[in-house]
Structure 1
Amino acid sequence: MKHHTVSDVMTTDVVAVAPDAPFKKIARIFHDQAVSAVAVVDEGHRPIGVVSEADLLRSVAELPGVEGAWRGVRLLSQERGLPEAETAADLMSAPVITASADWNLTEAARHMQLEGVKRLIVTSSDGGLAGVVSRRDLLRPYLRSDEAIHGEIVGAVLGGVPSAAETIRVQVRDGVVTVSGDTGERAAADVARLCRSVEGVVAVRTSPDTSGTGPQADVPSRREG
């Protein structure tokens, strides 16, 4: 079974700025290029931080009100010992949270969740900027059709469990796999475990085979309308 890696789904055309890029230039990039974050890179094009729309808005929110009141907000510039957040270096989140291009998507998703970020900067073997992977990218396998998932299960899963190939029935609907048959709990458990590793599978259910149609695996027809 083929499993996608970060390199398969990441965006390689990453917008990057230098640490001295001014606030307004970054805001213009967000608008003109329809992106929500930019990587901040050093002279060797190695990522050192990320500036997101949230970082700009946070800086704007620290400006005084029309009456000069700060409304109890703790200034980001004060926290960082800076007079104001004027450049990418002032605004960026650092250190940058990175991923390797050869990570599998589950590994990347776990790292993203652990770090509490929406995207990971992907670095090359020499530490250079190689790409960026977002939460949306990691969900791409779930766009696979039921037919594609079913085909992989029949070819790679059932074909790899001889004791189940002739006695297990598989159905796929909306990414949910139902495994049924009278082969015994162990074979059914093996098939269910392998089905969970197929990309695009949302969940796996097991149930007795009550269809009366025999051992073949099938995918239900599409609902009309």
Structure 2
Amino acid sequence: MRHRTVGDLMTPTAVSVRPGTTFKEIARLLDEYDITAVPVVDDGGRPVGVVSEADLLRKQTSGDVGSTAGDVMTSPAVVAEPEWNAVRAARTMEGRKVKRLPVVDVEGRLIGVISRGDLVKLFLRQDHAIQEEILEDVIVRTLRLPPSSLTVEVTDGRVTLSGSLERRSLLPVTARLCEGVDGVVDVVNRLGYDRDDTTGEATVRPS
């Protein structure tokens, strides 16, 4: 089961500025590209900070609009790597209180930007796409069961599982696998089991 990564979700070839870029030029770029922040890179293309609309507004309020990117940027830049999963990117944003992360390659050079909006797209997946992934990847490939063995219903990202598994120990495992599918908001586990293998005894659940 392959989850989409930061590299899949980011906006590539991100707009960037240099530390010496002027206040007015930064404002023009934000407006032209309809973005709310821009990475600041050094001569090697490595992010050294980020300038956001909020940074510009703070300077404008103080009456100082002659500043450069190096003067107003938030530094150091908090960056992500393309192989990160969405959860790691989201937790980094939350932990560092930022709304976007420059994405860098193995040499630390800017290759894109991922924003909260990009991560939200994960939860805009169509229900049928989520259902198909659960049936194919979780039930068939991972659990090695026929696709008709369980019923999977998906409504607005909420997955409801019903049917019966052979062993009780598989119930929480199956639910966790479904929770890990991109776009899943919640999992309602209504699965039953034929044999309780959690007690060390061959207890068969009565029908």
Q: TM-score, normalised by structure 2?
A: 0.84
Aligned partner of 1:170 among 152, 163, 171: 152
Cross-structure match for 1:43:
43
Say if 2:70 is the partner of 1:89.
Answer: yes
Determine if contact 1:85/1:91 at 8 Å carries over to the other structure. no
| Structure 1 position 166, deviation (Å) | 5.8
1:39/1:162 CA distance change after superposition, 3 Å: closer
Q: Which consecutive unaligned segments of at least 5 residues does structure 2 have? A: 193-207
Q: What SS does structure 2 have at the residue aligned with 1:60?
A: helix
- Equivalences, count: 190
| Structure 1 position 84, deviation (Å) | 7.8
| Structure 1 position 2, deviation (Å) | 1.6
Q: CA RMSD in A?
A: 2.0
Determine if contact 1:168/1:188 at 8 Å carries over to the other structure. no
Cross-structure match for 1:147:
128
Q: What SS does structure 2 have at the residue aligned with 1:155?
A: helix
Distance 1:105 1:207 in 2: 28
Q: Which consecutive unaligned segments of at least 5 residues does structure 1 have? A: 64-82, 210-225
| Structure 1 position 152, deviation (Å) | 1.0
1:25/1:37 CA distance change after superposition, 3 Å: same
Cross-structure match for 1:111:
92
Distance 2:25 2:183 in 1: 39
| Structure 1 position 33, deviation (Å) | 2.0
Aligned partner of 2:189 among 206, 209, 214: 206
Q: TM-score, normalised by structure 1?
A: 0.78
Distance 2:105 2:34 in 1: 25
Q: What SS does structure 2 have at the residue aligned with 1:4?
A: coil
Distance 1:84 1:158 in 2: 59
Identity across aligned pairs (percent)? 44
Distance 1:32 1:96 in 2: 23
